[in-house]
Amino acid sequence: MEQQAAKKRILSGIQPTGTFTLGNYIGAVRNWSRMQDEYECLYMVANLHALTVRQDPAALRRQTRESAALLLACGIDPAKSIVFIQSQVPAHCELSWVLSCCTQFGELSRMTQFKDKSAKHPENINAGLFTYPCLMAADILVYNADLVPVGADQNQHLELARNVAQRFNNNYSPTFTLPEGYNPKTGARVRSLQEPAKKMSKSDTNANAYILLTDDADTVLRKLKRAVTDSEGAVRAAEDKPGVTNLMGIYSALTGKGLSAIEAEFAGQGYGVFKEAVAGAVIDALRPIQAEYARVLADKEYLDQVLAAGAAAAGRIAGRTLAKVYRKVGMLQ
């Protein structure tokens, strides 16, 4: 019998810093569920990464469970993929230390997320925020992931993970797979509805800037009606029309229609009609997710069992890589 080629492996993660936004969904999570049949997938809730910004402990605990439930509601099937909580697999932190010793201060200083988040939280520029990419590299490399599906904002961190992996392989011996990023064709960077120069972010202080996966139909419509556009009044994608172009991107990602088809569809119509159509597409996409989310959250035992099995399965793979790394760098066995 012909031997079946091993499936390539995927690892990705999302922080439990709030309810997922439409940006998280279109840029990342939606693609995760689509990749489950073709790849061996591991998806985690990155609760250790969330600590880089001050969190309320009780809220963090709740949001961690809710994030896991949302992953399942977005179509991630624990029968196909390993779903787990980052802090429940200690090998991530252990490998992170080793990798941080293979990462240069200068490399970390160039990370735009570090610069953005330091500017946003000047009172709490902690060491974890700075070494965040080392932990993210450990998340990926501890599983020797081939592919990492993320939104475009994470590409710089991924590039750093590749560089660190390569450096480790050169300094010791071939150990880590060099991971490739995977961005969706549309929606890799969904923008804030209020400040389209910025990305849509679940921790934005202005609730009108994002659509949450749990927003009801009225809220979705209201937020889209308030979305910042421009005075031209034409549905047309252009660099100097970031607000309208962003809404077209959302509509395109959810309906599969191309940008020129969308321009044709709304030719001669104002933003009001267009925004209602975008709202309709968003509401249709969220309806099944919200129903499934309510169901999963209500079944505490099921979620606990999925997460326990996920942590055990992930821990087995991660433990093997860590043992190899410790041996190679000279830790006493």
Catalytic-residue membership of 117? yes
Q: Is 189 exposed, middle or buried (0-12, 13-18, 19+ CB in 10 A)?
A: middle
Q: Is 333 exposed, middle or buried (0-12, 13-18, 19+ CB in 10 A)?
A: exposed
Q: From ligand ATP, ligand LTN, none, which one binds at residue 92 (CB under 5 to 8 Å depending on kind)? A: none
Residue in this structure with the two tokens 């942590």, named with its chain if needed: 311
The site for ligand LTN (CB under 6 A) is made up of: 11-15, 46, 49, 136, 139-140, 148, 150, 154, 157
Q: From ligand ATP, ligand LTN, none, which one binds at residue 103 (CB under 5 to 8 Å depending on kind)? A: none
Distance CA 175, CA 154 (A): 23
**Is residue 85 near ligand ATP by the rule CB under 6 A?**
no
Binding mask 160-199 for ligand ATP (x = CB under 6 A): ----------------------------xxx--------x
54 or 316: CB nearest ligand ATP: 54
Site for ligand ATP in 120-149 (CB under 6 A): none
**Is residue 96 near ligand ATP by the rule CB under 6 A?**
no
Which residue of the set 80, 185, 202, 324 is catalytic?
A: 202
Shortest Cβ distance from residue 15 to ligand LTN (Å)? 6
| Sheet containing 147-149: order of strands | 82-85, 40-45, 9-14, 147-149, 180-182
**CA geometry: angle at 216 spanning 45 and 117, to 5°?**
40
Phi-psi domain of 201 (left: phi exceeds 0; alpha: psi -120 through 50; beta: other): beta
Distance CA 88, CA 66 (A): 16
Catalytic-residue membership of 199? yes
Residues with a known catalytic role: 117, 199, 202
Residues in contact with ligand ATP by CB under 6 A are 14-15, 17, 21, 23-24, 27-28, 150-151, 153-154, 188-190, 199-203
